[in-house]
Structure 1
Amino acid sequence: MPTRPVSQSPHGHHYIGIDVGTGSARACIMNDQGDIVGLASENIGLWQPQTGYYEQSTTDIWRCVCSSVKAAIAQKNIDPSTIRGIGFDATCSLAVLDKDTDEPICVTGPYFDNRDRNDRNIILWLDHRPVEETEKINATKHHLLRYVGGTMSIEMEIPKVLWLKQNMSKELFERCKFYDLTDALTHMATGSDSRSLCTVVCKQGYVPVGVDGSVKGWQEEFLKEIGLEDLAEDNFKRMGGVDKVNGRYLTAGEMVGTLSEKAAADMGLSSGIAVGTGVIDAYAGWIGTVGAKVDLDQESLASNAPKNDVSQAFTRLALVAGTSTCHLAMSREPVFVDGVWGPYRDVLIPGYWMAEGGQSATGELLKHVIETHPASQEATSAAKASNINVYDYLNQHLNEMASEQSAPSISYLARHLFFYGDLFGNRSPIADPNMRGSIIGLSADKSINSLALYYYAAMEFIALQTHQIIQTMNKAGHVIRSIFMSGSQCQNEVLMKLMASACGMEVVLPKFVDAAVVHGAAMLGAKAASTDKEGKSEPLWDIMNRFSKVGKTVKPSTDPVLKRLLQAKYTVFLEQCESQGRYRREVDEAIRGWGRER
C-alpha cells in the first residue's frame, strides 16, 4: 500500500490517545508533529471481593476516560475542532454486556443479580479465579494452544468465560456478550461491534482465517471440547461473529467508525471524529517506541537495511513495564516459543507476526517487597520528607551505601543475596502459575539498608528473567538485539542500567518516558484519521516512524568484573528456577494419595 501522509491544516491537527491501565485511565493530545501537548489521568475503581478476584466497571472506566479527555484538552486550551482521530488501548480484561440492551452484567459470583454490583462487569486480567477452568482447557492439549506458548494462561479471557458459564445461571449466561475491554471501549465510543485482531487473536483463542487451516477464525471444535460450544451458535455472534459474515475484524488503527453523538457529548468533542481500532495496552507500547529513529551499535553491525525500515522492528524487543511486564517481538515468519504467547499474525502490521513474552509481576513485585519489609514505613517517611517517591529514595540510598563501602558497583553489595521473584506465578518462559519466590542469603537485619538490598535483588531478578526470556526467544528463531522500553519502570534509572548490563544490549527510552503507551494509542487515532474515501489509510509503521520520539539510550556496562558477577548470578537464577519445580515434584510424589486415603 502506498504511503499517504496525514493531511495538514493551517491551524494544526490533533489526535487523542486513550490508555486504560490497571489503575488509571489516561488521555493525551498529540499534535501533527508527534508531540504530546496535553496529558491527564484519573484513577479507576477496583474491587477485590475475595482473594484472587479483581473486578472493574465499564461505567466507571468510561467516566474516567471522558474526564481525562476533557482535562487534557483544557491544559493547553486545545480547540476541539482540531481533533481528527482517537485511538484506544486497554488492559486485556474481559468485559461483559447484555447482548440485547448493552447494559453491564455483573461478574461477581455467587450473587450475579445483586443490583448494587451490576456495573462491576469486568474481570480484570490479573484475576486468578479460573484455576480449574484453565487446567481443564490445558488438559485438552488442543493444537490451538501452540499459539499461546503451549498452555493457555489463567490471565487470558477464555478461562474466565468458562468460569462464568459454570457459575452463572443458564439464563443469565445466555444473555452475556463478551468483549475485550479495548473493544468494549470502541463499542461505547462508536456503537460499532467491530473487533480488534489484536484483542481476539492474542488472548481469546482466535486464529485468523487462512492460518493453520482456520476457516472462521473462531474454532468451534475447540470451544466444544472445553465446554463452551454454545458460543459457536449464530456464527459466534456473542464473541463478535465471523469476519465479513456477521462480524468485522480489523488490524491496529484501521478506522472502526466515528465518534457517536452521545460519546462526543460525554467527551466534550464533536461527533464524526475517526476512531481507530484499538489494541491491548502492551501493544500500544510497541507502537509508541520501536519505530523511533535511533542508531544502535548492534543494528549498525548486523543490518544492511535502510534506516528505520520496518525490518528493523524484527531486532527490537519492546518491553512494556508497569504492574507487569510484556515482551513484544515482531517477525517476518511465525516463530513458536514454549512459554511465549503467539505467534499472532496481522495484529499490528498486516502480514507480520507478533510474539509476547511476559512477567506476571514486576512493578507489583517491587511494591510488594517494599511494603512487606519491616523498614517500609521508615523508608516511605524518609522519601516523603525528601519530596521523592520511595523507589528514587531507595536508589539514592543504594548509591550512598556503595560510596560508603567503597564498593565497585551496587551489584557488589548484593553479591551474596539470591532472589527469585515469581511470587505471582510465571508467565514466561516457564508458563507455570504455581511458581513462587525464593531467597538465599536471608539475614535478621531490619534496617533500611536491608530493605534497599532486597529491593535491588528484586530488580536484579527482573533483569535476569528478562535475559532468560530473550535467550529463549532467540534460541527459537528470533533475532532480538536491543530493548525499547515503555511504562512506569522507564523512570527507574538503576533498573534500566541493570537491564542493559544483565541482557548485554542497549535499552532505548522514549522521550515521553511516562506516556509512551498512550502516545502509541494516539498514533492509532492518526492512522484512522488518514483513511480516504476508499477506506485506505497510511501504513502504521510510517506513522510510527514520523511520530516516535527518542529520549536516551542506556548502554550495557563494559566492566568485565560486573559482567562476570551478573553471569554468575544468572547461573544461580536458573538453578533456583529449575530446583523449585524439582522440589515440588519430589514432595508431590512423597505425599501422593495422602488425604484421599484418610
Structure 2
Amino acid sequence: MPLPNKSHTSLASRKSSFFNAHQLANPPQPDVYYVGVDVGTGSARACLIDTNGIILGLSERPIKRHELKPNFITQNSTEIWNSICYCVKNCLRDSGVDPSEVFGIGFDATCSLVAINKDSDEPQAVGPDFSDHKENIILWMDHRAPDETNEINATGDKALKYVGGQMSIEMELPKIKWLKHNAPGGIDSMVFFDLPDFLTHRATKSNARSYNSTVCKQGFVPFGVEGSTTGWSKEFLESVDLHELVANDFEKLGGIPGKNGDFKSAGEIVGKLSAQAAEELGLTTECIVGSGVIDAYAGWIGTVAGKVDIPNAPEFSEESNGSISNSCGRLAAVAGTSTCHIAMTKDACFVKGVWGPYKDVMAPGYWLAEGGQSCTGALLAHVLAIHPANSELAHLAEASNLSKFDYLNLILETLTSDNKLRSVVSLAKHVFFYGDFHGNRSPIADPRMRASIIGQSMDSSVNDLAVQYFGACEFIAQQTRQIVEEMEKGGHEIDCVYMSGGQCRNGLLMRLLADCTGKPIIIPRYIDAAVVFGSALLGAVASKDSVDEHIKLRGRSRRSSILKSQTSLNNLTSTHSRQTSDYEEPHSPYTAPTATTSSTNMSTLVYASGHAGSHHQMNTMTPLGEEQADYFGGEGQKNQDSDSDEEEQTLSFGSKQNVQQDVQKGIHNKLQGLNLKPLTPSKAKKAESNPGDKLWKIMENMTGPGRVILPSDEQHPDRKLLNAKYKIFLEQCYKQQEYRNLVDQVEEENLKSLKKH
C-alpha cells in the first residue's frame, strides 16, 4: 500500500511556509517526527509533531469504563492499547508521514492501577467480577478501598510525608491492599504497573518503571530521601500487611533500582518498540520509547517552556541558559473537569494539602509538588445544569451561534452597561460564591467541604444564571489564589501560571485568574492538545541522540541503514497486518464514525495555509493589551463566529481570540511593577549539567509561543474589590469547618445522652 502524498509535510513545503519563515526560531530540519500518546479517563489520543513542535496530526478515540458496583470503576488495558494503535495510525495517515521518519514516541496516562499475570504477562481481573480478566485496571477515581486507605494512613510512616502527609484513596497501595483481601488467591499471581508504565511495558516489553508514577502514586521514596536505600520500604509495606510486595526485592512493584529494577526520569530511554508493538502501531522497531508520566505532568511538560517575550520589556527577552532550573517559579495549571497545579523546586517544599514534594519525578535532584481543585470545568457545567434558565440559555446560545459560556459573557457585558456599573466585578459584588460542591483537595484537603452561596434571590432568569456563573468563575480564581499563597508560604516562589485546557478560551475566567492571583497567566499555543503534545516531547527527548546522528550524517545513520535493510520485510509485515491484525485500520475522514473517532490533519492548517493569513491567525507572541485583556476577551471574541472550518480548527490549537498587534504603551511600567523574574533569561549563562536539561532544551525548542494576560495594577478598582472579596472567601471556607465541628459536637452529646436512656 503506497504512502499518502506528502505535499503538506515535505521539507520543501516547510521551508517555503510563511508560518515557518516568520514564526519559528529553529530552521527546518530533515524529516524527523515524534508521536505522543495521552490516555485520559474517557479517551485515548495521539498526536504527531515535527522538529519545530508543530502538530501535524491529531486523533482521539473514546474508551469505556465500567462501574458494576458503586465506587468500583474499571477499565480494559487491551481496549486502551487498541485505541492507541488506532489513533497513531490515524495520525500517520492524515499527516502523510512515513513511519520510518518517526524517531520517538512518548506516553502519558491517568494514574490508574494495572494488574498483569506475572507468568503470562496477560491482563488479570481486578473485580468486582473476578472472572472477567479483560477488566484489569482499577481507575484512579475508583473508591473501593476507604478502609484500606485509613489503615495505611494510620501507620504515620515517613513515606506518607512525601505524598502530602497521607495517601489518597485515589493512590495505588490501598487498591493493592484491597485486592489482596478480595481477589481469589490474593495477589500472588499478579504484578502491578501504573498505567503510564504499563504502556511503555506494552510498547517495549521492558519492565522499567518511572519515578513519576512510583513516587507520586505508589509510595516509592527515592534514594537518599529519609535514608532510603531501596526506594521501597520493607517496614512500611509489612506494617500494612503487604508482605507480598516485599518478596523478591519488591519484584511486583518493579524491583530495586540498579539491582533487579530499572527506574527512569521523564523522557529517559526505556527501549525501542518491540516487533509486535511496532506492527500494531504502524511504526518501526527503530522508534525509541521515552519513559512516561502521569497525564497532568505531561501538561506541565507541554506548557511551562512557552515563550512570552514581550516587546518594550527587555528583561523578558533574554536567552535561556538551557537549565531545567528555569522552570522553577512557573506553575502549570492543567485544567479540565478538575485542575492540577504542578510546580518544580530545587529544594523540598512541604505544603499542607498539596501532594508531594516528589523527588526525581521529572528530573534528577528536583522536586515537584501537585495541588489541585476537585472540580473546575465540572463546577461551571454544574452551575448551568442546576439553574432553571439552563434550557433557555441553550436555545439562545444556539440561535446566536455562540457557546453557552460566550453567551453568558455577553449577557454580563450587557448587564454591566445597562446598569451603568463600573465593571462586571462590581455587577456581582454582593454575590459570595464558595464552590466546593465535591470536597476540597487543596489546600485544606477536606473531602467533606461543600458549596455555599450568599446573595441568591428568587430570580430564575438567564440574567441571574449569568451572575451565578460569574460567581463560579470568581470562586475558581480565588481558590487558585488560595493554593498559590499556601504554596508560597511553604517555600515556592511562583512567578506566573501556565494554563492549559479549554478553559483557556474563557476570557472572563482568565482575567479573573490574573487579577485574583496577581500573577501573569500564560495561554499555550496548543490549548486543547497541551497534554498529548507534552507526551510527544518525551519521545523527542528519548530519541535526541539518534536524531542528532541522523542530522549530522545527513540521513546516512546506522538507524537508516537498519531500516533500509528491513524495507522489504516491513512491506510484507504491513500487508500481513492489514489482513490479519485485530487492530482496526483507520477510516477515511469521510467515513469515520463521529461517535467513535475524531482526527485533525494539522499539517494542512499550519504549513499548507502559509500565505492564507496564517500569520494573522497564529501570531500568539504578542501579549494582550488592556482592550483585549478585559473580562470578556476583548475584540478577539468576535473571531469565534467565523464560518471557516479551517480557521476554527486552527484556532482550536491556539487561541480562539485574535491578538492585538500593538502593545499598549503602559505595558512596560506594568511589568516593572510586578517584580517578576525573566521567563526566558538574556545572556547565555553556563548551566549546571543535569539529565533534566535535555528535557528542558527540547521543551524550549519545541513548545513555541504563548500569550500572556497580565494582572491589572494593584490599585485598579477591580483588584481592590477582589481583594476584599477574598477575605470573605476565606471566611466562607474556614467558617464552614467551624460550623460542622460545632454541630458535630452537639450531635455527639445527643447520641451519648440517648445511649444512657
Partner of residue 99 from structure 1, selected from 99, 105, 118? 118
1:375 corresponds in structure 2 to 389
Q: Are residue 581 (structure 1) and residue 737 (structure 2) matched?
A: yes
Q: Which stretches in structure 2 are left out of the alignment for 5+ residues? A: 1-25, 550-690
More deviation in 55-64 or 200-209?
55-64
Alpha-carbon distance, 1:296 to partner? 7.0
Is residue 2:260 matched to residue 1:281? no
User: Does the alignment pair 1:47 with 2:70?
Assistant: no
Partner of 2:591: none
Alignment of structure 1 residues 122-521 onto 2, 5 Å: 122-169=137-184, 171-295=185-309, 309-521=323-535
Residue in 2 aligned with 1:3?
Answer: none
In 1: Cα distance, 2:243 partner to 2:452 partner: 41
Q: How does 1:50-65 map to 2 (within 5 A)?
A: 50-65=69-84
Contact 1:317 1:329 in 2 (8 A): yes
SS for the counterpart of 2:698 is helix
C-alpha distance in 2 between matches for 1:149 and 1:166: 26
Q: Secondary structure at the match of 1:49?
A: strand
- Three-state SS of the structure 2 residue aligned to 1:121 is strand
Give the equivalent residue in structure 1 for 2:696.
541
Q: Tell me whether 150-159 or 376-385 shows the greater mean CA deviation.
A: 376-385
- TM-score for both structures, normalised by structure 2: 0.73
RMSD of equivalent CA atoms: 2.5
> C-alpha separation between the residues in 2 aligned to 1:300 and 1:142?
49
CA distance in 2, matches of 1:300, 1:360: 39
**C-alpha distance 257-124 of structure 1, shift in aligned 2 (>3 A):** same
The one of 705, 713, 728 equivalent to 1:572 is 728
Deviations 1:256-275 (A, max 9, x none): 01112222222222223100
Give the CA deviation at 1:172: 4.2
Give the TM-score, by structure 1 length: 0.92
Shift of 1:131: 2.0
Inter-CA distance 548–154: structure 2 relative to 1 (3 Å threshold): same
Q: Answer with 48-57 or 252-261: which moved more.
A: 48-57
Q: Are the counterparts in 2 of residues 296 and 506 from structure 1 also a CA contact under 8 Å? A: no
Distance 2:238 2:283 in 1: 44
Query: For structure 1, which segment, 557-566 or 244-253, has the greater mean C-alpha deviation from structure 2 after superposition?
Result: 557-566
Alpha-carbon shift at residue 207 of structure 1 (Å): 0.5
AA aligned to 2:728 is V
Q: By how many angstroms is 1:463 displaced?
A: 1.0
Separation of aligned partners in 2, 1:431 and 1:418: 22
Query: Is the CA contact 1:335–1:477 (under 8 Å) kept in the aligned structure 2?
Result: yes
Letter in 2 for 1:112: F
Residue 342 (structure 1) shift = 1.2
Whole-angstrom distance in 2 between the partners of 1:123 and 1:296? 46
2:28·2:52 contact (CA, 8 Å) conserved in 1? no
Q: Distance in 2 between matches of 1:12 and 1:222?
A: 50
Note the C-alpha offset of 1:329: 0.9
Does the CA contact (< 8 Å) of 2:322 and 2:693 recur in 1? no
String of CA shifts for 1:305-341, please: whole Å, max 9, x gaps.
9566533311111111112111111111111111111
Residue of structure 2 equivalent to 1:4 = none
- Partner Cα distance (2:288, 2:28) in 1: 16
Distance 1:77 1:503, change over 3 A: same
How far off is 1:42 after superposition?
Answer: 1.2
Query: Counterpart of 1:575 in structure 2: which amino acid?
Result: E
Q: Which stretches in structure 1 are left out of the alignment for 5+ residues?
A: 1-6
Measure how far apart 1:477 and its partner are: 0.9
**Paired residue type of 1:16:** V
Counterpart check, 1:112 vs 2:268? no
User: What is the identity, as a one-letter code, of the residue corresponding to 1:72?
Assistant: C
Change (3 A) 1:450 1:227: farther
Query: 1:477-499: per-residue Cα shift (whole Å, max 9, x none)?
Result: 11101111122322222211111
Tell me, yes or no, if the aligned pair for 2:433 and 2:454 is still in contact at 8 Å.
yes
Aligned length: 584
Tell me the amino acid that sits aligned with residue 71 of structure 1: N
Shift of 1:16: 0.4
Moved more, 52-61 or 548-557: 52-61
CA-to-aligned-CA distance 1:28-72 (integer Å, 9 cap, x gap): 111011111111111121223344443222122112211111122
Change (3 A) 1:12 1:301: closer
Q: Give secondary structure in 2 for the equivalent of 1:173.
A: coil
The answer to whether the Cα contact below 8 Å between 2:187 and 2:244 also exists between their aligned partners in 1 is no
